[in-house]
Copies of this chain bind each other. A is one copy, B any other.
Amino acid sequence: MLRFATAAEMRRWAETTQREGKTIGLVPTMGALHHGHASLMRAARADCDRVVVSLFVNPTQFGPHEDFARYPRMLDADRALCEAAGVDVLFVPTVEELYPPGAQTLVDVGALGSVLCGVSRPGHFRGVATVVTKLFAIVNPHRAYFGQKDYQQTVVIRRLVIDLQLGVEVVVCPTVREPDGLAASSRNAYLSPDERRQAVALSAALAEATRLIAAGERSARKIREALGVILGGHPAARVEYVALVDPDTLEPVERLAGRVVVALAVWVGNTRLIDNEVITVSDA
């Protein structure tokens, strides 16, 4: 497995690889890799001739009071996971490499970045779009892999790729879950044992949404209320939002039809967790 720290080395390798007619799959990560990331790497490994994983804790997607400084960093373990997944290249740039002195250009994705998680995290998706644009420019991958767990991020990146004509196929892989249903996330490491038990509230609420919709419920308000009851039953949980939105526009849905995303952001203790389910509403 190769490892590059500079954009110049990474770009040179990618250009040579492309000139040989090889396809490149990119898995952009912030490190602290778990089996959710591993599933993205497996998908890339199956689809592409070469697999690149970037590890970069991107400062511009964290707010001033968020967890940038304490975000888990564990390069040795990450490297071992990538090696085991058959990754060809690890790209591990420094902050100065991706944000050179004087850097001030930002990629803004408009309204898609200001709803849902964008309400409490203003600038978050601008930071995501900015760093993904840079990574795509450096690696110029054929395909890039993202987890459905970060649903809004996948919508933002699909939009970004269309709007800026980046010519990358965005592949969204299913959320990977722990045995009790909790979505895999690097931030799960912040949870105390008790919080970890209560964190199952999110996936339990999504399961209830699926059940209600299958049983014929079509009112978003009623589903939100039912999920609020489930989440409220976990004393460590504090709801940031429970939303039912259009899968493409992220606009709120009131009367369900077609496909809907049920999206949650819930604080469990001092840890902010998100989860979602895309549900097809039958016309019966």
Shortest distance between the CB of A100 and any CB in chain B (Å): 6
Cα A98 to Cα B164 with chains together (Å): 8
B104 touches A163 (CB 8 A): yes
Closest to A249 in B: B102
A164 touches B134 (CB 8 A): yes
Cα A18 to Cα B11 with chains together (Å): 14
A134 contacts across to B, CB distance below 8 A: 163-165
A103 touches B140 (CB 8 A): no
Cα A27 to Cα B210 with chains together (Å): 53
A18 contacts across to B, CB distance below 8 A: 18-19
Whether A109 is near chain B, meaning CB under 8 Å from some CB there, is yes
Closest to A101 in B: B162
Closest to A20 in B: B19
In the complex this chain forms, how many copies of it are found?
A: 2
> A134-B164, A137-B164, A167-B137 known; A129 and B109 CB under 8 Å?
no
A165 touches B138 (CB 8 A): yes
6 example contacts (A-B, Cβ-Cβ < 8 A) are as follows A105-B110, A106-B107, A106-B110, A133-B133, A133-B164, A137-B164
Closest to A159 in B: B105
Shortest distance between the CB of A80 and any CB in chain B (Å): 28
A129 touches B105 (CB 8 A): yes
A89 contacts across to B, CB distance below 8 A: none
B105 touches A160 (CB 8 A): yes
Picked from B19, B107, B159, the residue with its CB within 8 Å of the CB of A164 is B107
B105 touches A111 (CB 8 A): no
Whether A278 is near chain B, meaning CB under 8 Å from some CB there, is no
